[in-house]
Amino acid sequence: MTAAQKVKASQQAAAYLAAAVASLKVPSGMAQANGQLHQAAVLAAQYLKALQADLATKNVAKVQAAFAGTAKLSTTINGLNASWKTAAIAAAHKAGLAVPSWVTSFGSS
């Protein structure tokens, strides 16, 4: 499997996640945070789609430019994900529910 094929598989997974998040029916208090989680998945899918195309055409300059922008994109995506995590934890506490461990570890490396 080539690098481009591996990136394409990741792009498809991110696009699937974005569609799944967009289809969720969330409580009104989570709507904005859910929108941010969706936006993070869309940004990841867009980045991976462009990277896959650049890898497939062996466009070294564009691949290098994509890698150079990874830190900024990562910061943006992490911020959007952190907003969702904060809102999810707050909603669980407000409802008197335990916060699932996958939520508390969401976004952690």
pLDDT of residue 50: 92
**CA gap 82, 108 in Å, rounded:** 10
What are the residue boundaries of the structural domains of the chain, listed by start? 3-104
Please provide the average confidence, as pLDDT, over all residues in the chain.
Answer: 92
pLDDT at 13 exceeding the cut of 80: yes
Model confidence pLDDT, tens digit, residues 23-41 = 999 988 899 999 999 999 9
Q: Where does residue 70 rank: exposed (0-12), middle (13-18), buried (19+ CB within 10 A)?
A: exposed
pLDDT at 69 exceeding the cut of 90: no
pLDDT of residue 28: 82
- Percent of the residues in the chain that have a pLDDT greater than 70, as a whole number: 98
pLDDT of residue 108: 66
Short-list 78, 79, 88, CA closest to 34: 88
Q: Where does residue 71 rank: exposed (0-12), middle (13-18), buried (19+ CB within 10 A)?
A: exposed
Would you list the DSSP string of 41-65?
HHHHHHHHHHHHHHHHTT-HHHHHH
Confidence label for 96 from pLDDT (cuts 50, 70 and 90): very high
Confidence label for 107 from pLDDT (cuts 50, 70 and 90): confident
pTM for the full predicted model: 0.86
